[in-house]
Structure 1
Amino acid sequence: MNSFKENIEKIIKILDYNFYFVQKLEPERNSENKIIKVKFKLKEGKRINNYGDKEFCKFGIEKEKYYKVAGVYSIIIEGEIKYIGQASDFYKRFKDYGKISERNCYSDGQSTNCKINNLILENYLSGKEIYLYFYPTAYYDKVEKELIRLINPLYNTQLLNNLKNKKVKNINEKYLVDIAQEEIEKIIYSERKLKKTEITILSKDIHERLGWDKRYPTVCSAMRKLKDKYKNEEIYSPPKGNGSSLEIKYIIE
């Protein structure tokens, strides 16, 4: 995707999903053709979020086409996927991103709205091309998390940090197994690109890569789940079945 400036691609494939071009993201301008910028005078003594004191702009997407349409969107800057997000109403999500109010700027406000808006403005002012793509799906939560885990976009720091910190305790176990499985498949994908035909995975290594605490049964479940997908050999199984020493060799040719 290095030719974005000269030739906008109408459909791009991100993993196995077809994302459709929505529009080029640009800040709105006033009658004098100047970018409409907003910076709030925030209340003293009230905590603000990490982006609350930044400068913001205004932008939006077509209401008629995207109102109440669910799916996953991708913000692409200079040909690189910088952010992946989900929406039950794509139009409303970008309406919120594109019009920041003062209440969004405080610690109990919508920090992501401030973050995305400011990043759009700063990248635009630095002369970068910003494009928005969309994949309509009712399974937006699953698809978003899968893409973030496998692609690791630069601006998706909050979800990745939540998964690596104590907040992970409140997440459904089945979902955590999926996260561990995707981490393993990410490794397998990299090894395939190097023309490798087999790879040996140790549960301890995956556990450390994810930054988890005492979740070896989850990792082991993910490893064994992949045995249905790849030919394999269980080289070592811990005495109790699950633990840091589970070792499985997968045939990935």
Structure 2
Amino acid sequence: MTERDRHALRRDRDTLVVGPSQARWVDGELLLDIDELTFPRPAYLRGRIRLTPRVANDQALVLDPAGRHRWCALAPCARVQVELEKPRVRWEGEGYLDTNAGDKPLEDGFSGWHWSRASDADGTTVLYDVTPRQGEAYRKTIRFDRQGAVSEAPAPASAPLPTALWGIRRRIPADAPEQARLIETLEDTPFYARSLVDTAVDGRPLRAVHESLDLNRFASAWVKPLLPFRMPRRVTRTG
């Protein structure tokens, strides 16, 4: 999460290099080699993440009425191995890979959204609760099974979750309000919260990685100056 200028960027069909770190496809696996300094507390962050897709997908979801913002779960079901040298951390489990693309800034198209992803033995469920600047708010369930089939349906009403410490309001679709339960807050910022949440949709219990994004907050004058404290900017010196 370090911003760098164009001189630090190289890319081809299978590889993206940003400064000392890179992502590359090798024999159907995505390898992420990380070599960074953390900020604002300086420390080395080095190691490799290996993502092995179980299911591939190229069907994109248009997120706004004007069609300017798109989301695609490239590997909705995947195996992930994390092996870091600094700090020394090893982990292996179910994972996921997606991509977002847009023709305008997110804050121009949306006031915010609540998103979650849960994996189980049958596949992956993604829940979207979106509030665009124009058009009606909507909730959607997207289901990816282990054979690669994709299905969409309206999601049930959203149930409130505890407000984050920075005041970000959280909610998640649930069959009944009492089935939505906050397990842990993983990241808490002035405009974004990431959490671990339990819910149930269509009678299916789900433990989900959940995010709430407040783009009104993100666009506010007091939040913009805070961004460099989490995403420092590096300039590449060229001769």
Q: Aligning the two structures, in what range does the TM-score lie when normalised by the shorter sequence?
A: under 0.3
Greater Rg by CA: 1
Larger RCO (alpha carbons 8 Å, 6+ apart): 1
TM-score by length of 1: 0.25
TM-score by length of 2: 0.25
Q: Which structure shows the bigger proportion of residues in strand conformation?
A: 2
